[in-house]
Structure 1
Amino acid sequence: MTLDSPLARLPGIAITPDAIEVLADAASYRRALFDLIEGATRRIVLVALYLQEDEAGQEVLDALYRAKAARPELDITVVVDLFRAQRGLLGAGKQPGNAAWYQAQRRLQGLDVAIHGVPVQTRELFGVLHLKGSVIDDCVLYTGASFNNVYLHRFDRYRLDRYHLLRSPALADSMVQVVRQIIDGDATPRLDQPDVPDSRSLRGKIRRLRERMRQLQYRVALPVSEGLRVVPLLGIGRGNALNYTLCALVRAARGELVVCTPYFNPPRMLMREIRLALARGVQVELIVGHRTANDFYVAPEEPFSASAALPYLYEDNLRAFARRQHRALERGQLHIRMWNDPGHTFHAKGLWVDQRYSLLTGNNFNPRGFNLDLENALLIDDPDGEWLAPRQAELDGIRRHTEQVDHASDLGEKGDHPKKVRTFLRRLRYTRLEPLIKRML
């Protein structure tokens, strides 16, 4: 990497190899989360798309209230998406949403555990809070997971994500500062308190908040450009710095590129860089969730909903890509791995470039992540190979339940889809809504 490259100019925070810990699985993440909450002395800032009203969610909220009762001076803030917190689960009918539960728990506990709802757009369809990374004292617990039974492996089922614990006061301070700036205003109401403002009354404030978020970046005091470092990145909307960095990472690949995503629907600018990487001889590996490992998957014998067609749409995208790149597949330059641990789901995302860069992110590498949602990432830059063993161990763990796709035909055909899925997708194509739907997913 030359000093004038865009990656070299990114402000990074120096970190030692032993300060970055890879947690092996969801159960390990759950234990680390509760241990950190129990031992917190100054601050707890939990950030996720949602904190669900279920057994695991109740355990998280109980742990926060216990910590507050034991240490009243502890500053505790939970940040979730405003609209996601005020509706029920998709396909579950009319429900009061998690906000009603937050309020009931506050009345029961009588303690101040602030839960803020952040609206990224005036409607959930057009953008959600996809920010990742919780801070407890000087530790950053970074994962794409939210808080519920399956993400925390509370019972038999788990949803595989990536889990990293970074011990860095500078990184923790930088991430907390951004969260504080986001919730500093009347567009991010307290959801644990009654009388949450109606979304219509917040529209003007939400638009102003989104404009303010577009200007936000992580501040790094004493940035470094050499040695092992972590670079925090933030982005919202088209043309943001995070999007350009993602593409720059793929562009920087010379020997090896690994792309991991549960939903194969890359935006054009990222797909272009992947094609160019293949053209210049880079070994490219895609790790993608099998349709049955998709969190939207519904078995054919169960009631059909529009969201149940999404896993098949992603599979169609991957099949089309495999057909276009069949020569790279045949010569072993392109590797496609499908993750499938029956009964469980897949939610891991990230980039690994050569033996140097590792990107932790909640970004799904799709048009929605590039254009609508509030996203962030942590880029680990390891120019001297100080952190290669944990990096490789994590990749090996992700590959554990994968199968190699040797030909596009291994992914089946559109005609194999259940009849209701075929009918729904055919209607999308006839009405020319498919490109629009792909941009919203």
Structure 2
Amino acid sequence: MSGGGGRRFARLTQHLPGRRYGSRYRFCTGNEIRLFTEGEPFFASLVERIDAAQCDVVLETYIFCDDAAGRSVSDALIRAATRGVRVRVITDGIGTERLAMFNDWTLAGVEHRIYNPHLFGRFGFSRTHRKLAVVDDAFAWCGGINIVDDYDQNGMRLPYPRWDFAVELQGPVVADVREAFDVQWERIRIGHRPALTPPPVGAPTPRAATARFVRARQSTRSARNADMRAMAEPCVAFVARDNFVNRRAIEKAYLTAIGQARSEVLLANPYFMPGRKLRRALIFAAQRGVDVRLVIGRKEFAALDYAVPFLYRSLLKAGVKIAEYERTMLHGKVAVVDSNWGTVGSSNLDALSLVLNNEANVVLVLHPEIDQLRDAILAAFDESRRIDEKHYESRPAGERLLNWFAYNTYRLAMKLLTVGGYD
């Protein structure tokens, strides 16, 4: 990385908070990352770590299914609780139905809380859409993979495994994931943002990790005119959004990276209905010569399939390349910028995820796993149906009207649900 690249790296990692779980996210170094590109190896990793747990297991998920994948994780949780490990699980009140296995959890000593049990509850319409787990404060997981069989889609059998991602984390960032769970656990109990509790003695503290990264940045600044790539260390940030102090955290992470892009923006998402700021960031990037490619999922919600194409016109005119993925269910929420910034998480790029739901992403900078993620997005783009601007502009008038109506209906509904937060 040249001097200019080093300065971009510094700007991408500038969100260092004065306190933990504030409105900014922090980067830390010294982490190990393992990227999962489908559910089966992810579940195997999770179960293996739970079976080796000695003190503590926490898990938060939007969907927990009573299928082969769900039962394997549930059995591991029960085994851990039976041998004296404290096990806590959060499921969403709408994403996960009331399962018979919940009774087995209670009998085994698994502690279970449900976020917003009803469609409109004390947290309004919001859901916990996060997919998180932490074992013994040593291993953490974050991504888009629910506890559900790879091939199941609402009772239908998919032709290939669901296209999805998660990361296993080791290092200082684990403390941030654990705190996000603890805050959510207490929030469900008392109904508002709880006071933060100090980390247990001996646990990795965010202050120490932040100080370590600040020192790394200071040493980088002192050698601005040198080759900064050799000095810059791979770093990670855990970015959670909620409706209290982190309302725009994930959106800002995307905006920062896309705004600094110089050569390439690769983005894959199943529900692509971002607000104006994010759409403009993509358009401005394409207009300044950045290769912007979007892989968009389809065939889960018909209303979105009709609404999303309304956004294509301005993007295509700016030079954004768009492809619709239909090989299997695209569920991954991932992006790569300039091959040195990447994100994996639960956040869709729509009003519910960006403005209303509890979400969590991991941002990677300069980690080698970014290359694997980039290859996966490019392969998906090549396997997708490319949207041709001329063909798009020649759509029948009826289809255009349907796209306009679906988009504006969606926009109005989201403005009402988010009390004007969606633009």
Give the TM-score taking structure 1 as reference length: 0.72
**What percent of counterpart residues are identical?**
19
Alignment counterpart, residue 231 of structure 1, candidates 222, 237, 241: 237
SS in 2 for 1:222: helix
> Aligned partners of 1:123 and 1:13: how far apart in 2?
35
Matched, 1:247 2:234: no
> Aligned partners of 1:415 and 1:67: how far apart in 2?
60
Alignment counterpart, residue 87 of structure 2, candidates 76, 90, 93: 76
Partner of 2:50: 37
Partner of 2:274: 266
Alignment counterpart, residue 11 of structure 2, candidates 2, 5, 27: 5
Alignment counterpart, residue 314 of structure 2, candidates 299, 303, 324: 324
Runs of 4+ in 1 over 6 A off after TM superposition: 151-155, 414-417, 425-429
Q: Which amino acid aligns with 2:53?
A: A
What does residue range 116-127 of structure 1 map to in structure 2 within 5 Å? 116-119=113-116, 122=121, 126-127=125-126
Matched, 1:340 2:326: yes
Matched, 1:172 2:161: no
Partner of 2:111: 114
Which ranges of structure 2 fall in alignment gaps of 5 or more residues?
1-5, 17-25, 197-204, 218-231
Deviation at 1:119, TM superposition (A): 3.1
**1:164-217 CA distances to partner (integer Å, 9 max, x unpaired)?**
22222x2222211221122125x33xxxxxxxxxxxxxxxx53x34x979xxxx
Partner of 1:198: none
Deviation at 1:285, TM superposition (A): 0.7
In 2 relative to 1, CA 266–336 (structure 1 residues): closer, same or farther, beyond 3 Å?
same
- Give yes or no for contact 1:230–1:379 (8 Å, CA) kept in 2: yes
What does residue range 17-32 of structure 1 map to in structure 2 within 5 Å? 19-32=32-45
What is the number of equivalent residue pairs in this alignment?
A: 366
Deviation at 1:112, TM superposition (A): 0.7
> Aligned partners of 2:69 and 2:409: how far apart in 1?
38
> Aligned partners of 1:141 and 1:8: how far apart in 2?
24
Q: Which amino acid aligns with 1:145?
A: I
Deviation at 1:358, TM superposition (A): 0.6
Q: Which amino acid aligns with 1:61?
A: S
- Give yes or no for contact 2:62–2:146 (8 Å, CA) kept in 1: yes
Alignment counterpart, residue 373 of structure 1, candidates 336, 340, 357: 357
SS in 1 for 2:322: strand
Deviation at 1:155, TM superposition (A): 9.5
Deviation at 1:65, TM superposition (A): 0.8
What does residue range 20-419 of structure 1 map to in structure 2 within 5 Å? 20-69=33-82, 71-72=83-84, 74-85=85-96, 97-98=97-98, 101-106=100-105, 110-119=107-116, 122=121, 126-137=125-136, 138-150=138-150, 156-157=157-158, 158-168=161-171, 170-184=172-186, 187-188=188-189, 206=191, 208-209=192-193, 219=206, 221-223=208-210, 224=213, 225=217, 226-237=232-243, 240-289=248-297, 291-292=298-299, 294=300, 296=301, 308-314=302-308, 316-317=309-310, 320-321=311-312, 323-329=313-319, 334-341=320-327, 344-382=328-366, 386-387=368-369, 389-396=371-378, 398-399=380-381, 401-407=383-389, 409=391, 413=395
Deviation at 1:388, TM superposition (A): 5.1
- Give yes or no for contact 1:22–1:165 (8 Å, CA) kept in 2: yes
Deviation at 1:400, TM superposition (A): 6.1
In 2 relative to 1, CA 361–163 (structure 1 residues): closer, same or farther, beyond 3 Å?
closer
> Aligned partners of 1:390 and 1:246: how far apart in 2?
19
> Aligned partners of 2:58 and 2:393: how far apart in 1?
42
Deviation at 1:416, TM superposition (A): 7.7
Give the TM-score taking structure 2 as reference length: 0.75
SS in 2 for 1:221: helix
SS in 2 for 1:22: strand
Deviates more, 1:45-54 or 1:123-132: 123-132
> Aligned partners of 1:273 and 1:367: how far apart in 2?
17
In 2 relative to 1, CA 397–279 (structure 1 residues): closer, same or farther, beyond 3 Å?
closer
**1:11-68 CA distances to partner (integer Å, 9 max, x unpaired)?**
322135xx21222322222322222222223322111112123343233212211232
Deviation at 1:408, TM superposition (A): 5.7
> Aligned partners of 1:115 and 1:400: how far apart in 2?
42
- Give yes or no for contact 1:56–1:152 (8 Å, CA) kept in 2: no
Q: Which amino acid aligns with 1:131?
A: R
> Aligned partners of 2:315 and 2:250: how far apart in 1?
27
**1:327-347 CA distances to partner (integer Å, 9 max, x unpaired)?**
444xxxx32222121xx3111
**1:295-339 CA distances to partner (integer Å, 9 max, x unpaired)?**
x3xxxxxxxxxxx4332222x33xx42x3344444xxxx322221
> Aligned partners of 1:5 and 1:263: how far apart in 2?
28
> Aligned partners of 2:142 and 2:406: how far apart in 1?
37
SS in 2 for 1:346: coil
- Give yes or no for contact 2:316–2:322 (8 Å, CA) kept in 1: no
Q: What is the aligned-residue RMSD (CA, Å)?
A: 3.4
In 2 relative to 1, CA 428–309 (structure 1 residues): closer, same or farther, beyond 3 Å?
closer
- Give yes or no for contact 1:23–1:29 (8 Å, CA) kept in 2: yes
Which ranges of structure 1 fall in alignment gaps of 5 or more residues?
86-96, 189-204, 297-307
> Aligned partners of 2:130 and 2:139: how far apart in 1?
17
- Give yes or no for contact 1:12–1:220 (8 Å, CA) kept in 2: no
- Give yes or no for contact 1:236–1:370 (8 Å, CA) kept in 2: no
